């Protein structure tokens, strides 16, 4: 909204603020101006004059798609040519150079659209025309900047703007000018925090502020500081080849006559036409930036599709090698084809709908929420496939830690109860824990229980019951056998299907047709996990009479686990985190997530850079290091070991979290052995990350 208002105000300013600063000479009826004999001789004896112009001053002067001068300056030059008979040749000036230097070197006859300052130009030995366009200068700063004109602030200026530098030195002596090669570089410097502000012509600012990447910048009017642009400037040579001082004087007189002959309305029309014809046009990059979270979601989903395809091929090859029944292979391919194509089709459809509703924030929000749900489903599919691959290859290892079963079952209940009750099903819990503290894999126990409870919810109609009952007994070897029973009053299973319930991708056809489609991996994975925990997963069921699943696992007794909530004296609001990530999109996402939660961040694009940043920082600068594992230069494991080996007070105490898309147990083991404190799986769950940052462990 503020961009549109700013554009409207700019056009109004053109209509009401444009002034022609020289008057009195009028064009003849044939469209020419009255020239003296001396001036006419100059026009007749000179070929095309070489015009140097700055390329990034849209809509005043810039190169169009054909490499030709465009904008207000071109309209004015064309009109001057008609009025005077002068001919012009246009050459772009390199960005980052002082434009007057080209005049002083004799490389050009004129330079277009320089800032009018007669005293400054005269001191340089340069003749200038009267200004043809008067506007306003405005300041651009980041939102939230406490801006005062007498403050000590850094201001970005393009290298060619030497007149602006002198104006600032006089009007705002406390400002520190910092040179950048172009206007766009000045915008980037302010946007990235390298400079506090910049000052430029209002028309230029209006164009650049349309870019979505500058959405966090604001415009501040500057009272009493006009921005007058000269039509051109010309060198007055004192000898040698090229124009003589007299030639320069004659040319300036001709230019001033042409400027004076153009009415305010005429110049105003040129300016409005240049603004309207050269409004900023959204690019694909702008769209991706403006809707970067949605784009990230789509990119993530496509990555998931690729991973699923690879996993599908791996499992298919394994089936082929083991000569599994063709019917099972057919079911696998059919199921996975459906599971991949359905969410992919949804994401592509949502992406199209978002592109059609860019001006409807409410609809966009709805589409983003749906995309998020779809992406989470794809992530769960990947997790299931990875779990099954690890279990089949016997690469999965349990992570044994002290577990509070009272807390674990309470967590499971709080997660499952909302979904079950929300369907109109009564949820009952009964458990008696004689040995509440065990040594076990809390994550895997929760995974099995939540899978069983979710299946019970899916296959139990409204008005039914789902019950979780837990009991324990001590075995002769001193270990604890825990039994969790999940029963429901749902539709049950046919005798035929019960023979295949633990087969991969097994699903009963009548349940699929009633909207309970899934991957068919949950129960096979749960059974294998139960066996890995020295237990089992069994069931009894009958058609239309419900099902009962019994999950057992054996574990050693344990002392109560340490309190997970650690008061480390640091809150997110005053934390600083070193993010080590080589992927640009991933780093942008994690930096934005942390920043939105009030956490200061620093980015290192690889392990070598991370080690350098940490080594050169003051001890205690960083509270946490988020470490990607697979990176160029130095990988995450090597970097963690190098940090731990440093001779400084915080080398052993700074917390290092592995942050990776690889969730295999051997990678976790390797991370801990290299000196890391915890393990976070991508895509990052920000709520879980914040808990870990605050000192809580799983």
pLDDT tens digits, 588-600: 878 888 887 888 8
Most confident of 6-10, 304-308, 342-346, 536-540: 536-540
Q: How confident is the model at residue 382 (pLDDT cuts 50, 70, 90)?
A: low
**What pLDDT is recorded for position 375?**
66
**What pLDDT is recorded for position 374?**
65
Mean pLDDT lowest among 82-91, 189-198, 203-212, 521-530: 203-212
Q: How confident is the model at residue 19 (pLDDT cuts 50, 70, 90)?
A: very low
**What pLDDT is recorded for position 179?**
87
Q: Mean of the pLDDT values across residues 155-181?
A: 82
Place of tokens 């640009």: 584
Q: Is the pLDDT of residue 479 over 60?
A: yes
Is 527 or 281 the better-scoring residue by pLDDT? 527
Q: Between the CA atoms of 514, 517, 522 and 523, what dihedral angle is there, to the nearest 10 degrees?
A: 40
Q: How far apart are the first and last CA of the chain?
A: 45
Is 135 or 252 the better-scoring residue by pLDDT? 252
Q: How confident is the model at residue 65 (pLDDT cuts 50, 70, 90)?
A: confident
- pLDDT per position as a tens digit, 229-272: 665 555 554 444 445 567 778 888 898 898 888 888 888 888 88
For the whole model, what pTM was predicted?
0.47
Q: Three-state DSSP class for 246? A: helix
**What pLDDT is recorded for position 648?**
92
Q: How confident is the model at residue 506 (pLDDT cuts 50, 70, 90)?
A: low
Q: Is the pLDDT of residue 482 over 90?
A: yes
- Domains of the chain, earliest start first: 2-281 (3.40.190.10), 285-392 (no CATH), 401-557 (3.30.565.10), 572-693 (3.40.50.2300)
Is 304 or 612 the better-scoring residue by pLDDT? 612
Q: How confident is the model at residue 538 (pLDDT cuts 50, 70, 90)?
A: very high
Q: Is the pLDDT of residue 388 over 80?
A: no
**What pLDDT is recorded for position 1?**
43
* R_g (Cα) of the chain, nearest Å: 36
**Residue 359 tokens, joined:** 């001006």
Q: Is the pLDDT of residue 8 over 50?
A: no
Q: Is the pLDDT of residue 490 over 70?
A: yes
**What pLDDT is recorded for position 333?**
54
DSSP 624-646: EEEE-SS-SSS-HHHHHHHHHTS
**What pLDDT is recorded for position 639?**
94
**Residue 267 tokens, joined:** 């110049």
Residue 657 contacts residue 680 (beta carbons within 8 Å): yes
Residues 6+ apart with CB under 8 A from 92: 52, 53, 54, 55, 63, 67, 69
**What pLDDT is recorded for position 646?**
94
Q: How confident is the model at residue 11 (pLDDT cuts 50, 70, 90)?
A: very low
Place of tokens 């925990």: 533
**What pLDDT is recorded for position 591?**
85
Largest CA distance in the chain: 121
Is 331 or 615 the better-scoring residue by pLDDT? 615
**What pLDDT is recorded for position 483?**
97
Q: Is the pLDDT of residue 22 over 70?
A: no
Q: Mean of the pLDDT values across residues 133-143?
A: 82
Q: Mean of the pLDDT values across residues 547-551?
A: 96
Q: Mean of the pLDDT values across residues 5-21?
A: 43
Phi, psi of 468 (to 5 degrees): -115, 120
Percentage above 70 pLDDT, the chain: 68
Q: How confident is the model at residue 24 (pLDDT cuts 50, 70, 90)?
A: very low
Is 117 or 654 the better-scoring residue by pLDDT? 654
Mean pLDDT of the chain: 77
Percentage above 90 pLDDT, the chain: 22
Ranges of H-type helices in 159-291? 162-171, 183-192, 202-208, 245-261, 264-277, 284-290
Q: Is the pLDDT of residue 334 over 90?
A: no
Most confident of 4-8, 13-17, 558-562, 634-638: 634-638
Is 307 or 628 the better-scoring residue by pLDDT? 628
DSSP 316-345: HHHHHHTT--HHHHHHHHHHHHHHHHHHHH
CA 572 vs CA 614, 656, 693: distances in Å: 20, 16, 8
Q: Is the pLDDT of residue 185 over 50?
A: yes
């Amino acid at each position: 909204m503020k961009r549109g208002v700013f554009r409207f105000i700019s056009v109004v300013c053109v209509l009401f603020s444009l002034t022609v600063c020289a008057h009195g000479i009028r064009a003849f009826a044939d469209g020419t101006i009255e020239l003296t004999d001396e001036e006419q001789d100059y026009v007749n004896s000179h070929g095309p004059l070489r015009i140097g112009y700055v390329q990034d001053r849209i809509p005043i002067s810039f190169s169009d798609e054909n490499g030709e001068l465009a904008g207000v300056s071109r309209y004015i030059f064309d009109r001057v040519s008609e009025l005077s008979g002068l001919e012009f040749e246009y050459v772009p000036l390199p960005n980052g150079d002082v434009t007057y230097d080209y005049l002083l070197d004799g490389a050009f006859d004129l330079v277009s659209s320089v800032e009018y300052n007669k005293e400054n130009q005269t001191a340089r030995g340069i003749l200038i025309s009267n200004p043809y366009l008067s506007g306003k200068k405005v300041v651009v700063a980041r939102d939230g900047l406490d801006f005062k004109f007498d403050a000590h602030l850094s201001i970005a200026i393009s290298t060619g703007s030497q007149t602006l530098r002198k104006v600032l030195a006089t009007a705002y002596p406390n400002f520190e000018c910092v040179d950048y090669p172009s206007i766009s570089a000045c915008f980037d410097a302010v946007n990235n925090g390298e400079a506090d502000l910049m000052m430029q012509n209002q028309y230029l600012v209006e164009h650049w502020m349309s870019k979505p990447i500058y959405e966090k910048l604001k415009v501040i009017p500057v009272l009493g500081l006009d921005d007058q642009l000269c039509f051109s400037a010309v060198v007055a040579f004192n000898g040698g080849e090229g124009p003589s001082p007299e030639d320069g004087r004659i040319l300036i007189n001709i230019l001033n006559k042409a400027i004076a002959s153009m009415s305010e309305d005429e110049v105003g029309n040129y300016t409005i036409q240049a603004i309207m014809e050269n409004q900023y046009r959204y690019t694909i990059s702008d769209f991706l930036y403006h809707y970067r979270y949605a784009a990230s979601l789509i990119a993530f989903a496509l990555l998931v599709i690729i991973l699923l395809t690879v996993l599908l091929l791996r499992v298919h090859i394994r089936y082929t090698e083991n000569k599994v029944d063709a019917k099972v292979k057919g079911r696998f391919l059919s199921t996975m084809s459906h599971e991949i194509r359905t969410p992919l089709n949804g994401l592509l459809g949502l992406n199209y709908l978002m592109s059609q509703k860019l001006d409807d924030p409410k609809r966009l929000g709805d589409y983003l929420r749906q995309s998020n749900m779809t992406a989470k489903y794809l992530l769960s599919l990947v997790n299931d496939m990875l779990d099954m691959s690890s279990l089949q290859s016997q690469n999965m290892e349990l992570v044994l830690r002290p577990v509070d079963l009272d807390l674990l079952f309470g967590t499971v209940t709080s997660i499952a109860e909302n979904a079950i009750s929300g369907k109109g099903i009564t949820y009952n819990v009964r458990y008696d824990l004689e040995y509440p503290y065990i040594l076990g894999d809390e994550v895997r126990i929760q995974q099995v229980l939540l899978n069983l409870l979710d299946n019970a919810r899916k296959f139990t109609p409204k008005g039914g019951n789902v019950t979780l009952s837990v009991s324990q007994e001590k075995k002769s070897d001193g270990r604890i056998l825990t039994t969790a029973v999940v029963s429901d009053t749902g539709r049950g299973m046919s005798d035929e299907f019960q023979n295949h319930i633990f087969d991969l991708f097994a699903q009963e056809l009548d349940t699929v047709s009633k909207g309970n489609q899934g991957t068919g991996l949950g129960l096979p994975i749960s059974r294998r996990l139960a066996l890995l925990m020295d237990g089992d997963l069994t069931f009894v069921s009958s058609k239309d009479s419900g099902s009962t699943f019994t999950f057992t696992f054996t574990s050693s007794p344990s002392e109560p686990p340490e309190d997970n909530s650690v008061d480390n004296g640091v809150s997110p609001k005053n934390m600083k985190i070193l993010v080590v990530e080589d992927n640009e999109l991933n780093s942008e996402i994690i930096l934005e997530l942390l920043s939105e939660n009030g956490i200061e961040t620093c980015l290192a694009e690889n392990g070598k850079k991370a080690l350098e940043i940490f080594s050169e920082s003051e001890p205690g600068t960083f509270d946490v290091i988020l470490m990607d594992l697979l990176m160029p230069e130095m990988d995450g494991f090597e970097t963690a070991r190098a940090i731990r080996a440093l001779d400084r007070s915080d080398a052993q105490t700074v917390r290092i979290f592995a942050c990776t898309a690889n969730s295999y147990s051997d990678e976790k083991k390797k991370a801990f052995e290299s000196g890391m404190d915890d393990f976070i799986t991508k895509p990052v769950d920000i709520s879980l990350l914040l808990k870990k940052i605050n000192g809580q462990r799983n």
